[in-house]
Amino acid sequence: MAIGDVSSAYCLARQLVAHLFMITHHRMDRASAALSEGLDPTEPRTYAVLSKYSKVSRPTLWNRTYGRPSIEEKAISQQYLTPSGGKALVEYLLL
């Protein structure tokens, strides 16, 4: 195997490992967390107030409320490999 082939295979393997880590350690994004936690009952429930306390932009909060996925969720949905396919490819490349 040529040096260029080894380095490109290594880069691909690193990307796949990062992909698998992201899938297995999926967590709620900040906007969704802010919407689910809510505010103090004495505060008005507006995007402006929620944005101020959560430090998430108002348009992002609105997008999550109305079902627009986060950038991370969209990237996951557009990936070519399933988690098991990615794991099998990593194992094959690291042989």
CA separation for the pair 32, 64 (Å, rounded): 6
pLDDT at 1: 46
Residue 42 has pLDDT above 80, yes or no: yes
* Residue spans per domain, the chain: 1-27+82-95, 30-69
> Between residues 59 and 6, which one has the greater pLDDT?
59
Q: How many CB atoms lie within 10 A of CB 42?
A: 5
> Between residues 14 and 53, which one has the greater pLDDT?
53
pTM above 0.85, yes or no: no
Amino acid identity for residue 75 in this structure: A
CA separation for the pair 1, 23 (Å, rounded): 31
Determine what percent of the chain is predicted with pLDDT higher than 90.
Answer: 8
The three-state secondary structure class of 12 is helix
Mean pLDDT of the chain: 78
pLDDT in tens, 1-15: 445 556 667 667 766
Residue 78 has pLDDT above 70, yes or no: yes
